[in-house]
Amino acid sequence: MRAVKARDTKPELMVRRILHKMGYRYRLHRSDLPGKPDIVFGPRRKVIFVHGCFWHGHRCKRGARMPATNVKYWKTKIAYNVERYSRQLDKLAAKGWSALTLWECELKHEEQIKKRLVSFLSEVADNTRKCK
């Protein structure tokens, strides 16, 4: 687990590259926001999280697989990650921020990701919790 990075992962770099090509500018990993979002659009009050399917318990083929050893530990850890992320989204919404979650498995479809990003970044901000 020591080799697992918390920032600048391949999926995150891919999303950042897409956003940059589309002309968006952003900040990275703002520590003053709950969850240290991967990508932050301050004036828009919007954040993007790029999650690995396994680590955040996504319901896809990659996220559903479980290591063969120490299963109890991994189930507990992943359940805690999911719960912690939910709390972070609630805190962000309470502060007036909107959040978009992009999953590692979704990044295969770059055109769909572009559409989701444009839609998310162009919508008018309101103070409700958004997790797409």
* Overall number of domains in the chain: 1
**Residue 77, domain CATH:** 3.40.960.10
- Higher-pLDDT residue of 131 and 33 is 33
2 in any annotated domain: no
Domain that holds residue 66: 13-24+51-132
pLDDT tens, position by position, 35-73: 999 999 999 999 999 998 887 888 888 777 888 889 999
39 or 4: which leads in pLDDT: 39
Work out the average pLDDT over 110-131: 78
Strand residues in the chain grouped as ranges (E): 27-28, 39-41, 46-51, 98-103
> Is 123 part of any domain?
yes
- Res. 80: pLDDT tops 50: yes
Q: Share the mean pLDDT of the chain.
A: 88
Unique residue bearing structure tokens 């008018």: 124
What does residue 102 show for φ and ψ, rounded to 5 degrees? -110, 130
Nearest CA to 123 out of 100, 102, 101 is that of: 100
Answer yes or no: is 128 within a domain.
Answer: yes
For position 60, what pLDDT does the model report? 85
Residue 19 lies in a domain: yes
**Per-residue pLDDT at 127:** 47
21-57 core/surface letters (b: 16 or more CB in 10 A; e: else): eeeeebeeebeebbbbbbbbbeebebbbbbbbbbebb
